[in-house]
Amino acid sequence: MTDQTLAPNAGTTPEGRLGAAATLALLAGPLLSMVDSNVVNVAIPDIARELHGSLPAVQWTVSGYLLALAATLPATSYLGKRLGTVRVYAVSLAAFTLTSVLCALAQNVPELVAGRVLQGVAAAPLVPLSMSLVFGRGTAAVRRVPVSAGIVLFLGPALGPTVGGLLISAWSWPAIFFINAPIGLAALAALPLLRRRGITDTPDRSARFDPFGLLLLSAGLAAASYGATEGPTHGWWAPRSWPFWSGGLLLIIGYLWWARGREHPAVDLRLLRRAQSALAVWLCTITAVAMFSVLFLLPVLIQDVQGHGPLASGLVLLPQGIVMGLSTKWGMSVGERGWLRIGILAGLLGIGVTTTLLLLVTVDTPLWIVAVLMGGRGLGIGLVMQPLLMALLTGMSRDQLADANTLFNVGQRLGGSLGVGLLATFFTLRVTAHVKAVLGAAASGIGQGAGSIGAAPAALRPRLAAAAVAGFHDTIWVGVAIVAVGLVCALFLRPAGIGAHGDVQDGDGADGDGTPLALTTVEPNA
């Protein structure tokens, strides 16, 4: 996806290939941003020990990053339009690299938390702007990018625990931040190659700043995300949970009211009046819930129930990210052939089937079987996401593209945080219920959730593990039901596709302003 400031010019290279160095420049930002969303999780015990901080205080190194990212994300659309997408991406990548070094050099927990907040602010624009540049559309030609782009963009969420475990085992926790520096510097050095590849950057000086709307949306996303994080741990109606998630949702609703009458809102919601675009964002949210909920549940099962380490759970999740990236090529192909709706339905069906097969996972299931199932889920998710982008773009005028990009990412973030939070709560409740059913009165002295298994008496651990697996299966059924809702909704998508000349067709074969829009195709490296 891209906004109106990007267009391949006459200098575009043959077949529009970006080249290895330019692709590195555009993929490093989102990869580092997504990896750093969860890489710190495995380092929390080491950070607490070496910086002499409490676990709740160190936990803010994760929460502070995610909240800052959520609060800054709505500003991406305006900044990209007003200042230029390449320029904002370059500044964000430089700031992310610098703040990563600051995090590595932190001498105490407050310094590290402050560094992580600044890192989250810098990270927010990296994913949506990179999507605009890598999967950009132009007026002159279809830009082709390596299949590695799809792999990297989908691999990030699963890569954090693996990378974190390896770096901490070999060195210590500062290494998870120091490693960002050489990658970020190499990407920054390669950014000037973008102009040679025909990617120009003309700021839109007509873009207007909407401070009140931005405040409503940013505060709403941050508050809702924080409430969703605290809800599963402390209870959704606890004083540190309900004021935030309820207040956040009210602020988001307030933005919906504010934006409807604004000519230049922070993020233009008028594109959601089109059923195709609204369905695409909704299905993106559903897919995010299906993807991130399992990314949360499986490590709990593998580590707390089966007794494996963080590195093992990270390796099990890797096949999903790799296959997701590879399958984006097939997702684009079905759109090019006019099978957009069929591709999305097939992908959702694949997600539903492989999610259902997770019901076969027990305490003794070998990790390779779980990895195969995750690879199958990755195939379904990859088939869905690229056609959903196409469905969102179909029939859209050029001045809506930057806002659509932001909305797509906001949908993923809300779906990931609220959906995972609710499913995590359901999982804890079901595990607790099964523990009480198995142990009866003896369950009163046992903590809630799967994490309490290790602290329980050895004689009770097998029964507690069985109760945790039963709770996992109950939660998987909810995930299957969510995917089923997505399947029903996808039936209402129009079977749009890409025409023979690379234009997104919406009945009349043109976009909302009558101009054919070229889309990315993903191909293997030459």
320, 330: one domain:
yes
CATH number where 204 lies: 1.20.1250.20
Task: Give the pLDDT of residue 94.
Answer: 93
Which string of DSSP letters, residue by residue, matches 139-160? SS---EEEHHHHHHHHHHHHHH
Of the listed ranges 93-107, 294-308, 320-334, 418-432, the least confidently predicted one is 320-334
Query: Quick count: other Cβ atoms within 10 Å of Cβ 243?
Result: 13
Give me the mean pLDDT over the 116-122 stretch: 91
Number of independent structural domains in the chain? 3
- Are the beta carbons of 193 and 200 closer than 8 angstroms? no
101, 172: one domain:
yes
Residue 135 has pLDDT above 60, yes or no: no
Q: How far apart are CA 517 and CA 519, in angstroms?
A: 7
- Residues 56, 417, 447, 38: what is their CA dihedral angle, to the nearest 10 degrees? -50
Of the listed ranges 76-80, 143-147, 440-444, the least confidently predicted one is 143-147
- Closest by CA position to 178, among listed 114, 112, 99, 121: 99
**What confidence tier does 442 reach under pLDDT thresholds 50, 70, 90?**
low
442, 356: one domain:
yes
Task: Give the pLDDT of residue 422.
Answer: 78
Give me the mean pLDDT over the 110-120 stretch: 90
Q: How far apart are CA 300 and CA 20, in angstroms?
A: 37
205, 283: one domain:
no
Comparison of pLDDT for 140 and 199, the residue scoring more: 199
Residue 97 has pLDDT above 90, yes or no: yes
Task: Give the pLDDT of residue 139.
Answer: 34
- Closest by CA position to 199, among listed 374, 5, 38: 5
> What share of the chain in percent tops pLDDT 70?
73
In a domain, 524, yes or no: no
Computed on alpha carbons and rounded to an integer, the radius of gyration of the chain in Å comes to 23
Of the listed ranges 284-293, 297-306, 329-338, the least confidently predicted one is 329-338
CA distances from 167 to 32, 315, 318, 324 (A): 15, 14, 16, 25
Task: Give the pLDDT of residue 524.
Answer: 31
- Are the beta carbons of 404 and 3 closer than 8 angstroms? no
Strands (DSSP E) along 29-168, which ranges?
A: 144-146
DSSP state of 445: G
Residue 311 has pLDDT above 50, yes or no: yes
255, 352: one domain:
no
Tell me the sheet residues that pair with 505.
497
Comparison of pLDDT for 402 and 184, the residue scoring more: 184
Position 272, amino acid = L
Tokens of 399: 């001045």
Encode pLDDT of 446-474 as tens digits.
445 555 555 555 666 677 788 888 888 99
Encode pLDDT of 258-275 as tens digits.
877 777 777 777 777 777
Residue 71 has pLDDT above 60, yes or no: yes
* Average pLDDT over the chain, rounded to an integer: 74
Q: Indicate if the alpha-carbon torsion angle 449, 453, 456, 457 is positive or negative.
A: positive
In a domain, 515, yes or no: no
Query: Quick count: other Cβ atoms within 10 Å of Cβ 510?
Result: 16
Q: How far apart are CA 94 and CA 102, in angstroms?
A: 13
276, 389: one domain:
yes
Residue 486 has pLDDT above 70, yes or no: yes
Give me the mean pLDDT over the 4-15 stretch: 35
In a domain, 504, yes or no: no
The CA-based angle 455-420-329, given to 5 degrees, is: 120
The CA-based angle 511-517-523, given to 5 degrees, is: 140
In a domain, 525, yes or no: no
Which string of DSSP letters, residue by residue, matches 143-211? -EEEHHHHHHHHHHHHHHHHHHHHHHHHS-TTHHHHTHHHHHHHHHHHTTHHHHTTB-----TT----H
Comparison of pLDDT for 299 and 94, the residue scoring more: 94
78, 184: one domain:
yes
Task: Give the pLDDT of residue 234.
Answer: 72
Residue 16 has pLDDT above 50, yes or no: no
Q: Which residues contact 126 (CB under 8 A, 6 or more apart)?
A: 29, 30, 32, 33, 89, 92, 93, 96
Give me the mean pLDDT over the 10-21 stretch: 49
Encode pLDDT of 203-253 as tens digits.
666 667 878 888 888 888 888 888 877 777 777 788 878 888 888 889 888
215, 194: one domain:
no
Give me the mean pLDDT over the 331-360 stretch: 83
331, 366: one domain:
yes
In a domain, 448, yes or no: yes
- Closest by CA position to 288, among listed 423, 393, 402: 423
Task: Give the pLDDT of residue 397.
Answer: 58
Task: Give the pLDDT of residue 4.
Answer: 34
Give me the mean pLDDT over the 115-119 stretch: 91
Range(s) of the domain holding residue 203: 1-209
Give me the mean pLDDT over the 429-437 stretch: 81
Query: How many H-runs (helices) and E-runs (strands) does the chain carry?
Result: 19, 4
Q: What is the pTM of this model?
A: 0.71
Of the listed ranges 48-57, 71-80, 437-446, 460-469, the least confidently predicted one is 437-446
Q: How far apart are CA 86 and CA 116, in angstroms?
A: 24
In a domain, 240, yes or no: yes
- Are the beta carbons of 298 and 317 closer than 8 angstroms? yes
In a domain, 281, yes or no: yes
Of the listed ranges 2-11, 142-151, 482-491, the least confidently predicted one is 2-11
Task: Give the pLDDT of residue 349.
Answer: 92
Q: How far apart are CA 28 and CA 12, in angstroms?
A: 22
Tell me the sheet residues that pair with 145.
522
225, 199: one domain:
no
Residue 508 has pLDDT above 50, yes or no: no
Using DSSP, state whether 497 is helix, strand or coil.
Answer: strand
Comparison of pLDDT for 14 and 354, the residue scoring more: 354
User: Domain ends where: 163, 184, 209?
Assistant: 209
In a domain, 63, yes or no: yes
**What confidence tier does 501 reach under pLDDT thresholds 50, 70, 90?**
very low
49, 166: one domain:
yes
Encode pLDDT of 174-185 as tens digits.
888 888 899 889
H-state helical runs in 301-360: 310-336, 340-357
Tokens of 393: 């773009």
27, 78: one domain:
yes
Q: Which residues contact 320 (CB under 8 A, 6 or more apart)?
A: 158, 295, 374, 375, 377, 378, 381
